[in-house]
Amino acid sequence: MILFGIFSILFYVVLNWNVLRNVDEVLHNRKINLLAYLKTNPEAPFQGDNPLDDFTFYAIDAATFQKSKENYTDTLIYEPVDDELDEYRKLNTFVEIHNQYYKLEILAPHLEADEMLGTIAFFLGILLTGLSLSFYLSQRIISRKIWKPFYDMLEKLRGFRLDKQQLPELSSSQIEEFKMLNESINELVLKNMEVFTSQKQFIENASHEMQTPLAVMQSRLEALIGRAELTKEQAEIVEGLISSTQRLKKLNKTLLLLSKIENRQFLLTDQVDVNQIIRQSMEYYEEQKSKLNISVTIKSETQLTVQGNIMLTEILIQNLLKNAFLHNTENGILTIYVGEKQLTISNSGHKKDEEGSMLDKEKLFNRFYKQSGNPDSWGLGLSIAKKIADTSGWELCYRSDGALHIFEVNFQ
């Protein structure tokens, strides 16, 4: 359209120049014919202002004749019939006739610039509109036909899951580029499926192989501690080993769960009742609530039901609740708010400085990150909660308000 506009302007300039050149040529020919006629007819009455003639002679002296030059100019002449000023082209030339010097003016009408511009703009506008409409419609039809295999391919890839171990059925196409793209996608998917299967088997095998010796170690240590001949110091050492073994088993299960979440091995098709999960989960923390004398408030504005995986949603909510109880203070508070597509858990905590809380927002959801120094915390709970939220298409964010820590889950 920009090029078309530039072309239209150039077209008008060239056309206007061509019209003036043609009019000037007419005026020049008129002058030649008129002088030739007067030369052969010296008795012709050419002097005076005759309104029916397109020329006028004005007598001048020899000095003016010597100094003057021929020129073409635009002028406006009043037309009584139209009651308006019309555009004319005028030739001013200087001639010698019968030993007398004259200034000769010859007039010729030419197309008005405004009319020319309006006519050109009107027809070019029609042409531009027609071309644009034709181009738009033809491109939509052609593009829809050409790009149909591409959009079919995108739709199949959106629904593809590595854990199904099945290649996406991509649409065939006669276009060479799409054929190459189909081949590249199939090759890439096959490689990823192989890597996914290998990684999945490794994690499961490693987890299983670790669980077995840990269970044996724990059972033997428990059997050992039951013997009466152990001293008190030895018994404390064995109890510490049993505790470490239990923590390793728990860590192994947690890392396996985190890996399964990252590999999207869970279906997200359940209708999950968030309010019910909160009610059931609160029973697990009655001891912690009584121990620290924590004031718990549950505000529910709606019966919140979301689409996801029931087990993962339970883990998400329980991890947030566990974090809120585990890092709370004595005589602290815990507020649970259930709104429209939103869950907010707020708990009191220790304020580190005047500008914010003790939690680093940049590292908060990283694995094994913790600042509390609590031996019962691995620093994986919030990381798992974040992975579950991301996998389910939800948003988990943190903010602080003084000594109050606020975790918010948006189920939009």
Query: Would you call 89 helix, strand, or coil by DSSP?
Result: strand
Please give the pLDDT value at position 118: 73
Please report the beta strands in 288-403, taking only residues with DSSP state E, as ranges in sequence order: 295-300, 305-308, 333-339, 342-348, 395-401
Q: In terms of DSSP H, where are the helices of 109-159?
A: 113-146, 148-158
Which amino acid, residue 99? N
Please give the pLDDT value at position 368: 60
Sign (positive or negative) of CA dihedral 383, 388, 392, 394: negative
Contact 285, 321 (CB under 8 A): yes
**CA nearest to 383, candidates 370, 394, 373:** 370
**CA nearest to 381, candidates 351, 342, 336, 345:** 345
Kindly list the averaged pLDDT for each block of 10 residues, start to end, along the chain of length 412. 79 79 84 82 65 78 87 82 78 85 84 67 82 88 82 79 68 79 84 77 71 76 71 77 75 70 71 88 84 87 86 87 85 89 86 51 65 56 84 86 86 82
**CA nearest to 319, candidates 383, 411, 406:** 383
Could you give the CA distance from residue 31 to residue 149 in angstroms, rounded to a whole number?
72
Please give the pLDDT value at position 356: 46
Sign (positive or negative) of CA dihedral 118, 122, 123, 127: positive
Q: In terms of DSSP H, where are the helices of 226-326?
A: 232-262, 274-282, 286-292, 310-326
Please report the beta strands in 316-383, taking only residues with DSSP state E, as ranges in sequence order: 333-339, 342-348
For residue 186, what are the CA distances in angstroms to 91, 162, 191?
Answer: 80, 12, 9
Contact 92, 103 (CB under 8 A): yes
DSSP 393: T
Instruction: Count CB atoms within 10 A of the CB of residue 292.
Output: 17
Please give the pLDDT value at position 353: 39
